[in-house]
A and B are shown apart, each in its own frame.
Chain A
């Protein structure tokens, strides 16, 4: 079946540190992949996406590359800020029964300290 596995958190970093949050997936076919971010007390926001192999999604300094050979979509940022503190969800789109559904990972909490 379809599933997403994320590295467990929390991830605690100092400001300006390099960030990597690992995400691997299991799916039939070639799913679209997403990263969503949830700031404290808010709903989810789409951060970036990639729809085919070797695509790189990017937004707000975050990047993730769709790696079909390793079934991965790791999230990276070169220099994190305190304002990046949030929970990050990796997700894939499963097309089932004629409709799209998002399968989410468990989320990784990021805490950035000054």
Chain B
């Protein structure tokens, strides 16, 4: 069966510090991968998605970047965190190809920027 992991589970960082959140998927090959952010009291916003190694699409301009160095690894980064980067970050995967439609989410990382 497929599983998706995220770490760390929680993170407290000062403004201006760098960020690296990691997501890995097991039990599937060539998945589509996604990063979402959920700000406090708000819905989910798609940040990035990837359909293959090195292929990243950004949905909104922001202070963050994403990379996919391996097939089942997706990394969310920032060089300098802002207060507004605080939130709950969710990674998700779906089966590759145009017929896929169900996304499966990881447990999330709660980021607090002080």
Chain A residues in the interface with B (C-beta under 8 A): 32, 34, 36, 42-46, 49, 51, 89, 93, 95, 97-102, 104-107
Contact B100 A100, beta carbon cutoff 8 Å? yes
Q: Looking at the complex, which one of B44, B57, B94, B105 makes contact with A45 (CB distance below 8 Å)?
A: B105
> A93 and B101 in contact (CB under 8 A), knowing A43-B90, A43-B108, A99-B51?
yes
> A104 and B43 in contact (CB under 8 A), knowing A43-B106, A49-B102, A93-B101?
yes
Contact A102 B98, beta carbon cutoff 8 Å? no
Least CB distance, A29 to chain B, in whole angstroms: 13
Give the secondary structure class of B's interface: strand
Q: How many of chain B's residues have a CB under 8 angstroms from any CB in A?
A: 24
Nearest residue, chain A, Cβ from B32: A99
**CA separation between A98 and B51, bound complex, in Å?**
10
Give the secondary structure class of A's interface: strand
Chain B residues in the interface with A (C-beta under 8 A): 6, 32, 34, 42-44, 46, 49, 51, 57, 59, 90, 92, 94, 98, 100-108
What are 24 A-to-B residue pairs whose CB atoms are below 8 Å?
Answer: A34-B102, A36-B105, A42-B107, A43-B107, A43-B108, A45-B105, A46-B102, A46-B104, A49-B102, A89-B44, A93-B101, A95-B98, A99-B32, A99-B57, A100-B94, A100-B101, A101-B46, A101-B59, A102-B34, A102-B46, A102-B103, A104-B43, A105-B43, A106-B43
